[in-house]
Amino acid sequence: MNGIALAAKGDIVVVTLNYRLGSFGFLYVGNEEAPGNMGLYDQALALEWIQDNIRYFGGDPNKVTLSGSSAGAWCVSAHLLSPISQSLFKNVLMMGGAVLENVACETKQIGLRKAFAFAKAVGCETGDEKESFSDATMKCLRGANFESLIEAATRVSSESTNLFKLPFTPIYGDSFLPDSPLKMLETRRYKHNENIMIGTLPNEGVVSQLLMGVDLAASKESLIQSVRNYFKPDDINSSIIEDAIEFYFTGVEGVEAKVAFLSFFGDLEFHCPSIIFARHLSKSNTVFQYVFSYDAPSPFEFPSDHLSPCHGTDLPFFFGTFLSNSSDVEVSNEWIRLITDFVKGKTDMWPPYYVTKSDFVVPFYKDYRGANYTRSTKVGFRNIQCEFWKSALFDKF
């Protein structure tokens, strides 16, 4: 999106960047020909450029705030952990997601397995599948046309263990992410003593619903079967899925069953990874959490008004673009003010996460529903649901 309105209304310098995607940015073949995480290294190089040059545009290299939405939030959270890049910015804004293993990040072994499947799908001879690609295989891939690479990537999704079935994701166990994200959080190998803002929207699960092609008008039983069908045995133990189905779907019918379906995936893939990051980071950072609950227009059609606002509908308000009425403009103006106050160092907007002397975290958050909504400071967003996923799944990684 265009950053002109955000820069003008917030009186800040807005920098956007491009980076390599898909196989070009995240293919891992076991050697330096394609070492994985190239897209993240692209971003790190852009951050270095900003450090060297932002002063010429009126910016301060000591006050760089790194922000991203959705896959951008995965990237931002990876930079918070990475020894390569965490010194290249000060504060952070993560909107809609965080990088955790098996959510949006995989091992090098899985990356290599997918790389061999990718090469075969392109039509390249892989020979003995050892610990890295041969020069001949890489030469074949480099000679392939773009359309065949894209088609092959869609066929590799079946080899993925990440929850989004993405053919290519960041890998860990390299110099950029030396360990699994959760282990790095638990051992406090992340950026310290800064201000961090982490947010989501109520209906993040729409992403999975769209990727799965599930009809939300279907019956409760059909929705539950769609959940079962989505997971392979290698992804998550089937008993965990059955426990989660019982947790989310017991005692709900009609519209509430549709909400349960979306909440299942929204919590698993977006809310709970974000909250896990927030809880760990709050031990040595000032963490502000928010939920953007303003009833924004949705680009998707749902069988009920109860299912919005959904993933990504906050972006027009963040950038101040594509707004449809005066109420939306008012909300956008206030939201830009809140965000840019944070960027400029203000820390009294709403209570941050509070950590007691015994390391117990009190998760305050802002429930943002519009400029005139006064009861906005609350505690423990999706706390019960995320405790379920933490004990059932994330603690087992």
What whole-number distance in Å separates Cα of residue 195 and Cα of residue 286?
5
What are the backbone angles phi and psi of residue 177, rounded to the nearest 5°? -125, 90
User: In degrees, to the nearest 5, what angle opens at C-alpha 307 toward C-alphas 306 and 311?
Assistant: 145
What whole-number distance in Å separates Cα of residue 111 and Cα of residue 103?
14
Q: For 137-144, which contacts have Cβ atoms below 8 Å and span 24 or more sequence positions?
A: 137/29, 138/29, 138/33, 138/34
List Cβ neighbours of 146 (8 Å cut-off, separation of 6 or more). none
First to last CA, the chain: 36
Tokens of 134: 């041969």
List Cβ neighbours of 51 (8 Å cut-off, separation of 6 or more). 61, 64, 88
CB atoms within 10 A of CB 146: 8
Asked if omega into 309 is within 30° of 0 (cis), the reply is yes
Tokens of 12: 């800040």
DSSP 8-state assignment for residue 251: T
What whole-number distance in Å separates Cα of residue 390 and Cα of residue 186?
13
What whole-number distance in Å separates Cα of residue 234 and Cα of residue 232?
5
Burial of 240 from C-beta contacts in 10 A (0-12 / 13-18 / 19+): middle
List beta partners, residue 140.
none
**Which of 23, 67, 69, 70 is labelled catalytic?**
70
What whole-number distance in Å separates Cα of residue 253 and Cα of residue 257?
5
β-strand pairing of 286-292 with 195-200? parallel
What whole-number distance in Å separates Cα of residue 84 and Cα of residue 1?
27
Reply yes or no on whether 70 is catalytic. yes
Active-site positions?
A: 70
